[in-house]
């Protein structure tokens, strides 16, 4: 056998088949685009870029960053995650004129966009290890490059006066709505304890490159035509005392990023992406669109998941110029006549946990633990405020987190008061959709318990999980009364956003049950903690049930009324709380509940596909997986899912699709791992997924046979049950 094939077989046996399959998922375009709706997304986890080439025109890109928060109180949603700006790159002679060969490729394994136009080669990448974007241009014949920063859709950016070889621009928050939020929501006393996260927040870019010089405040141009030019865009967000201090910090950061050679930086960048793709994969040869879009969705999460704040469900950092018509929008504050600028996103800059969670659940099985940390960190950082709010509103210990929140913890102002707050207590929330909607904190705790089960990160347990979990559990323990039997009575309450009045809603009961069971299994807990948690566990009411067409099924709550949305709260016992499922008791009860659900939904934040997987219904789950991953997209790039309830791209849709596919293939419960719980027998698959106890499961299923199974560490193999695909 030739040595090449021996090496290839050894690489495949070691799990290195993924990069070869990955190249088939590269996005390849053979023509330029019309506008930003034909852009390619790329990023380094914090800085994002939408890049496109205009037909016969220029290379254009939007720059974005996960922490570029505008604090202007006049803006929609009161806080907006802004673009850093747009850059237009013109080459002369222009290689993008019609009739020249053209190809644009998103090279996933390298984390780069490569463009061939005539004889000109361009490479665009956002350094995985430094806060800088690189645009490289190579040509056998010298070309002139001109790069201009432009933000035609907005005012307020400051450009430094032209000087030397750089262009610098920024936006700076000279006002902030932070203190006003606190006053509005009865928390004025907290102003002296907290720190305003918006005031003087400054974000912007330093643009420079060898052989480039100023041609005005916003433009750089090559001094003489060149065969090789590198344009660098250094981005920074910081709260500084003065703009000059921000400029100095940016210059220092840029010098540090440029200290290494471009070759060394590119090598390290490509290694980061190679390591990322080697973590995990799912490749289904008979379903190439599912395989590709699973990888592309995971890629886009990686492009935005390592920043200072969690990924925004409503557009991520890849919002773009929207068309004036033809978009379905459910946000009552949406103004269809507003300018179609790329800073806009329906639902604004606040976080909804109901929507955010579905972006983060798939990161566990993918082993993308680093992408989860910003979500947990945001809630950890909000904890002091949440604790103070609980004491102010209710006079007891613990912490609650409402459904809509700013990244510092206040409710969205238009949810808190819709003009009817006068004469009511500070705890009153005008928006009945979220008035008592706090159960997201329980799901967050379950997610953190799973994260700890996977990573065994004791620092995370000590510094994040336990402080949050103890405060959340204390809130539920002290906030609700007990009934005559000594059980917690969840009232007043609601069942998600669907039933605005509910008594003992299922999500609260199921969530608290799973949280307490998980906490009681943690190592090193003191006797007093265990006693308190065990007592509270015994005080939980039973999950509510009802009878539908002669069958007993789970119910949204003991009593429920005022229907106003289209969720299925009773199915939270299947996912996210996983009380029922494959290999667990009362599976028929769970299946009957699913069959009786009032609101079937397999798009956006709908979870039918996920719940079918946990119920072991392979044929039905496969059909919904196919529908999810092949759904309508917006613009040119796959996985820029069109707006349904959220915004473009609809990240809930893609996150839910990933969770469902993973759960079809692998499910973990405690120490037990089940393979193929809902996998169709005619779907060959190569996979590598992660499970609790730092376990990695790799396999090849082909022609009805599991040809290869490697479990790391090997001693975990005994905990793996392999079911027969159906």
Question: Which contiguous run of DSSP H or E holds residue 92?
Answer: strand 80-92
Reported in sequence order, the residue ranges of 597-671 that DSSP labels E, i.e. its strands, are 666-669
Q: Residue 162 has what DSSP assignment?
A: P
Length in residues, the chain: 726
Weakly modelled stretches of the chain, pLDDT under 70: 1-20, 72-78, 324-326, 332-333, 337-339
Distance CA 104, CA 116 (A): 6
Structure tokens belonging to residue 46: 């914090």
Query: Contact 479/394 with Cβ under 8 angstroms?
Result: yes
- Eight-class DSSP state of 255: H
Dist CA 617 CA 615 (whole Å): 6
Write the pLDDT tens digit of every residue in 390-441: 999 999 999 999 999 999 999 999 999 999 999 999 999 999 999 999 999 9
For tokens 């973590």, name the residue: 279
Q: Quick one: how far is CA 423 from the chain centroid?
A: 39
Sign of the CA dihedral with 644 first, then 647, 648, and 649 last: negative
Q: Which two tokens stand for residue 67?
A: 């922490």
pLDDT the model gives residue 328: 73
Question: What is the C-alpha to C-alpha distance for residues 525 and 179, in angstroms, rounded to an integer?
Answer: 38
Number of Cβ within 10 Å of residue 155's Cβ equals 5
Q: How far is residue 309's CA from residue 317's CA, in Å, rounded to a whole number?
A: 11
User: How open is the CA angle 309-313-319, to the nearest 5 degrees?
Assistant: 90
pLDDT value, residue 2: 41
* Neighbouring residues of 360: CB distance < 8 A, sequence distance ≥ 6: 310, 371, 372, 375, 447, 655
- The whole-angstrom separation of Cα 467 and Cα 419 is 36
**Model pTM score:** 0.96
Give pLDDT, residue 4. Answer: 32
Angle of CA points 131, 135, 138, to nearest 5°: 150
Alpha carbons 171 and 27: distance in angstroms, whole number: 34
Q: Which residues are registered as beta bridge partners of 257? A: none
Q: CA 299, CA 598: separation in Å to the nearest integer? A: 34
pLDDT of res. 327: 74
- Tokens representing 405 are 């929140």
How are beta strands 672-675 and 720-722 bridged, if at all?
A: parallel
The Cα 86–Cα 343 span in angstroms is: 11
Contacts of 509 (CB under 8 A, 6+ apart): 490, 540, 541, 542, 543, 544
State the pLDDT at residue 324: 61
Which of 448, 490, 453 minimizes the C-alpha distance to 467? 448
What confidence score (pLDDT) does residue 325 get?
Answer: 66
Strands (E), 93-193: 102-107, 112-117, 120-126, 132-150, 158-159, 166-172
Vertex 335: Cα angle to 410 and 605 (nearest 5): 60
């Amino acid at each position: 056998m030739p040595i090449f094939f021996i090496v290839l077989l050894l690489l495949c046996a070691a799990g290195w088949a993924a990069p070869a399959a990955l190249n088939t998922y590269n996005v390849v375009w053979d023509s330029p685009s019309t506008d930003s709706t034909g852009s390619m997304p790329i990023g380094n986890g914090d800085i994002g870029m939408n890049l496109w080439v205009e037909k016969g025109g220029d290379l254009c890109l939007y720059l974005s960053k996960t922490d570029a928060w505008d604090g202007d109180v006049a803006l929609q949603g009161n806080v907006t995650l802004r673009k850093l700006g747009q850059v237009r790159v013109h080459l002369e002679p222009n290689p993008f004129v019609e009739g020249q060969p053209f190809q644009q490729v998103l090279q996933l394994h390298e984390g780069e966009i490569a463009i061939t136009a005539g004889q000109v080669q361009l490479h665009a990448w956002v350094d995985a290890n430094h806060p800088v974007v690189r645009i490289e241009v190579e040509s056998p014949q010298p070309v002139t490059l001109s790069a201009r920063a432009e933000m035609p859709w907005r005012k307020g950016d400051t450009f430094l006066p032209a000087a030397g070889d750089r262009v610098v621009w920024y936006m700076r928050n000279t006002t902030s709505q932070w203190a006003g939020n606190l006053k509005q929501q009865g928390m004025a006393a907290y102003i002296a304890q907290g720190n305003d996260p918006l005031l003087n927040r400054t974000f912007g870019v330093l643009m420079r490159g060898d052989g480039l010089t100023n041609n005005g405040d916003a433009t750089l141009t090559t001094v003489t035509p060149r065969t090789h030019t590198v344009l660098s865009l250094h981005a920074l967000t910081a709260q500084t005392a003065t703009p000059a201090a921000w400029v100095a910090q940016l210059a220092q950061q840029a010098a540090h990023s440029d200290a290494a050679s471009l070759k060394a930086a590119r090598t390290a960048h490509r290694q980061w992406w190679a390591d990322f793709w080697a973590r995990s994969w799912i490749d289904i040869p008979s379903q190439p669109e599912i395989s590709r879009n699973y990888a592309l969705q995971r890629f886009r999460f990686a492009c935005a998941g390592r920043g200072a704040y969690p990924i925004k469900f409503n557009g991520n950092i890849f919002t773009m110029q929207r068309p004036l018509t033809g978009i379905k929008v459910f946000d009552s504050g949406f103004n269809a006549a507003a300018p179609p600028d790329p800073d806009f996103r329906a639902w604004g800059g606040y976080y909804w946990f109901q929507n955010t969670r579905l972006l983060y659940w798939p990161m566990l099985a993918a082993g993308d633990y680093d992408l989860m940390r910003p979500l947990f960190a945001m809630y950890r950082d909000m904890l002091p405020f949440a604790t103070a709010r609980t004491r102010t509103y209710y006079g007891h210990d613990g912490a609650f987190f409402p459904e809509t929140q700013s990244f510092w913890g206040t409710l969205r102002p238009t949810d808190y008061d819709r003009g009817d707050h006068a004469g009511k207590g500070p705890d009153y929330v005008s928006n009945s959709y979220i008035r008592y909607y706090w159960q997201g904190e329980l799901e967050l705790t379950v997610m953190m318990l799973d994260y700890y089960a996977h990573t065994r990160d004791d620092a995370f347990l000590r510094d994040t999980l336990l402080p949050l979990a103890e405060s959340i559990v204390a809130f539920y323990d002290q906030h609700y009364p007990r009934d005559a039997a000594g059980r917690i009575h969840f009232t007043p309450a609601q069942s998600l956003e669907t039933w605005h009045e509910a008594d003992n809603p299922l999500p609260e009961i199921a969530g608290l049950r799973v949280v307490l069971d998980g906490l009681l299994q943690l190592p090193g807990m003191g006797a007093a903690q265990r006693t308190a948690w065990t007592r509270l566990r015994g005080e939980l009411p039973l999950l509510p049930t009802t009878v539908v067409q002669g069958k007993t099924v789970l119910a949204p709550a003991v009593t429920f009324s005022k229907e106003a949305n289209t969720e299925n709260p009773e199915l939270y016992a299947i996912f996210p709380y996983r009380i029922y499922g494959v290999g667990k008791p009362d599976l028929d009860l769970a299946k009957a509940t699913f069959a009786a659900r009032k609101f079937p939904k397999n798009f956006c934040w709908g979870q039918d596909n996920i719940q079918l997987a946990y119920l072991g219904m392979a044929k039905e789950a496969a059909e919904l997986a196919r529908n999810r991953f092949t759904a309508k997209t917006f613009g040119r790039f796959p996985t820029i899912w069109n707006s349904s309830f959220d915004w473009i791209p609809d990240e809930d849709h893609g996150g839910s699709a990933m969770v469902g596919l993973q759960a079809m293939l692998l499910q973990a419960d405690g120490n037990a791992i089940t393979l193929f719980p809902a996998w169709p027998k005619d779907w060959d698959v190569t996979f590598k997924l992660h499970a609790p106890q730092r376990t990695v499961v790799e396999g090849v299923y082909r022609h009805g046979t599991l040809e290869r199974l490697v479990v790391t560490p090997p001693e975990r193999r005994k905990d793996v049950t392999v079911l027969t695909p159906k």
